[in-house]
Every structure is written in C-alpha cells, then in structure tokens.
Amino acid sequence: MQLEGLHHITMITADAQANVDFYAGVLGLRFVKKTVNFDQPDAYHLYFGDEQGAPGSILTWFEFPGAAKGRPGIGMIHTIQLGVPSAASLDFWEGRLREHGAEPHRDEGTLRFEDPEGLAFELVVADDGNPPLRAEHPEVPAEHAITGIEGARAYSAYDGVEEKALTDVLGFTYEGGGRYRLQGRERHVHWAYDPAPPHHGRQGAGSVHHIAFASQDEDHLRWQARVGDAGGYVTGVQDRDYFRSIYIREPRGVLFEIATMSPGFAVDEDPEHLGEQLRLPRQHEHLRSQLERELRPVVNPRAAKELA
C-alpha cells in the first residue's frame, strides 16, 4: 500500500473573484469546480487544476469574504512549489507575472512570487519524474504551462529531525535536512520542514488550510486503520462528492488529508464545462436559491468567453 503523491492543497481567500482572476487568468490553471464548503455551505469552495482536475494538480480555496490576512507560523505550510517544464519557462513566467503586477524573484533555478493575498509560491523545473498535468490557456504556451504541484514546505520545531509518523506510518522517504519525498506509482511530491519563525501563525486570507495526499480508492479505509493503529488522530470518512477524505493532524501540527483518486470532478458536470455552474452536494441542494442570492457571483473566464 502506498500513497500516490499529492491530491490537493487547500487555502483561504477573502475574495473569490480576485482568486479566479489570478489562478485561472494569470497562472492559466483551469477553474474546475465552483461549489461550497460542505461543512459550511454559505462559503465558496473553488477548485483549480489541469484540464481534467487530476489529483496532483489541484489547488483549492475556501472563500471567507473580507477575511483578515493570515500569516504562516509553526505547524503551517508557508510555500507551495509548482512545476514548469524548463528554465526557459521560468523566464516566461518572470515576464508574465511582472506584467500582471506580481514581483517575481529569480533564485538558483526557481522563481519565487506571492499571490495577491501574500501566499508564497516557488516555480521549479519539474525534471525528476512527474508526468505533466497541464491546463490550456490562450496566453500560456503549452511548453511553459504549469505542470502540477511539485511540493510544499511547512514551519516546524525540530525541523531537521526525521518525523517517524511520516516515514514509518505514511510511507514518506526522509532525504535529510528536513526534506522528504512521497513516491507513488506515477507521481511523487516533495515535502519539507523549515525552522519556524519567532511569531505565532494565523489562519486567514492567503494562508494554507490543509494538504491532501492521494490514496487508491480500495486502500482508503486501510490508511484510516493504519493511522489509528499507530496512535495517530484520524477522522471518520467524509464524502466530498469528488473524492472521499480522512483527516490527520500530523505531529508537527499540519492538517493532513488522505483523499481518494476518484470519482473526480466530471461526476456532476460535463468535462467540457467544468467549473462553469455552481454545483452543490445533495445535502445542500435545498439551499440553492438562498446561496445563489447570497454568494457573491464568481465568473469562470471560460464560461464568460463562450457568452461573449
């Protein structure tokens, strides 16, 4: 039994439309699902990814309109690494991000930037085995398109000490220096702990809420049992419609999720039209007229293009 690398990473935004404009508009990801937070249906849950919304490509946001800015601290993810095909792609993104008002910094084979709410990203050349997971965007040539999520870094005390809950229970490989690799059959993801800053973190706009690793559907309950048997905290199985989830609080404080690979985002929408209409889970469908009235409208650029 092995985890299949990353599934998705979930953040908080104060402004859903500005979020869509940046991730679908500037970064060229596909806006694959517009739904609500299943546990709090008056808040949006937006999903972005490659053309199919494949596990390993997915970034998601809960919207809390007007939320104060967050700040990463101990036990929180502070940087997300996205893959690009080549060093020439870093040049392309340096120019494109600057044109759109971001302030990218080039540094030894990486390009660092922040999203409009201060969330830190690193573009890295993805040359160690992940098959590309691309979206199509008229202004982003395929040879430079983002190829999926390569890794994430969190703050921790004891950052350089091997975390056995990761290696012995979840199957990560420790590479030393606080760095880990989780290798699945097709994809892998890099994970690392850095020394925590001398201040408390705060959840809020531009902060990461949790990270989800991918499980084969048939292994999901066995992962739940395995974490429980190891003395870890693990939740019951939650049906998220597009996947099933369990949540784990790893010992350094980061909220981990293990999500199934299927059924995926085409379960309730035509693959040609992902993310164009508000989709609600069955248990919240009766709230539709109220939610459509109260949620601020969010326009998917692809749907807008067809209307034009």
Residues at the contact surface with Zn ion, assessed by CB under 5 A: 10, 212, 257
**Shortest CB 10 distance to Zn ion, Å:** 5
Q: Give the position of tokens 């097709």.
A: 186
Structure tokens at 269: 């929408």
- Alpha-carbon dihedral 47, 52, 57, 61, rounded to 10 degrees: 0
**Shortest CB 213 distance to Zn ion, Å:** 10
**Shortest CB 148 distance to Zn ion, Å:** 17
**Shortest CB 210 distance to Zn ion, Å:** 6
Q: Give the position of tokens 């997915």.
A: 58
Q: Which of 240, 292, 234 is nearest to 267 (CA)?
A: 240
Q: Judging by beta carbons within 10 Å of its beta carbon (0-12, 13-18, 19+), is residue 254 exposed, middle or buried? A: buried
**Shortest CB 59 distance to Zn ion, Å:** 11
Beta strands in 120-216 (DSSP E): 120-125, 149-156, 173-176, 179-183, 188-195, 208-215
Cβ nearer to Zn ion, comparing 260 with 300: 260
**Shortest CB 257 distance to Zn ion, Å:** 5
CA distance 166 to 163: 6
Burial 178-194 (b: 16+ CB within 10 A, else e): bbbbbbbeebbbbbbbb
Cβ nearer to Zn ion, comparing 10 with 35: 10
**Shortest CB 296 distance to Zn ion, Å:** 22
**Shortest CB 91 distance to Zn ion, Å:** 33
CA distance 283 to 305: 32
End-to-end CA distance of the chain: 49
**Shortest CB 242 distance to Zn ion, Å:** 10
Cβ nearer to Zn ion, comparing 6 with 20: 6
Cβ nearer to Zn ion, comparing 159 with 257: 257
Q: Which of 302, 287, 254 is nearest to 43 (CA)?
A: 287
What's 101's DSSP letter? T
Cβ nearer to Zn ion, comparing 90 with 227: 227
Cβ nearer to Zn ion, comparing 181 with 209: 209
CA distance 92 to 27: 11
Q: CA 210, 233, 216 angle in degrees (round to 5)?
A: 65
How much of the chain is in helix, strand and coil states, percent to nearest 5?
A: 25, 35, 40
Cβ nearer to Zn ion, comparing 31 with 92: 31
Cβ nearer to Zn ion, comparing 133 with 212: 212
Cβ nearer to Zn ion, comparing 190 with 244: 244
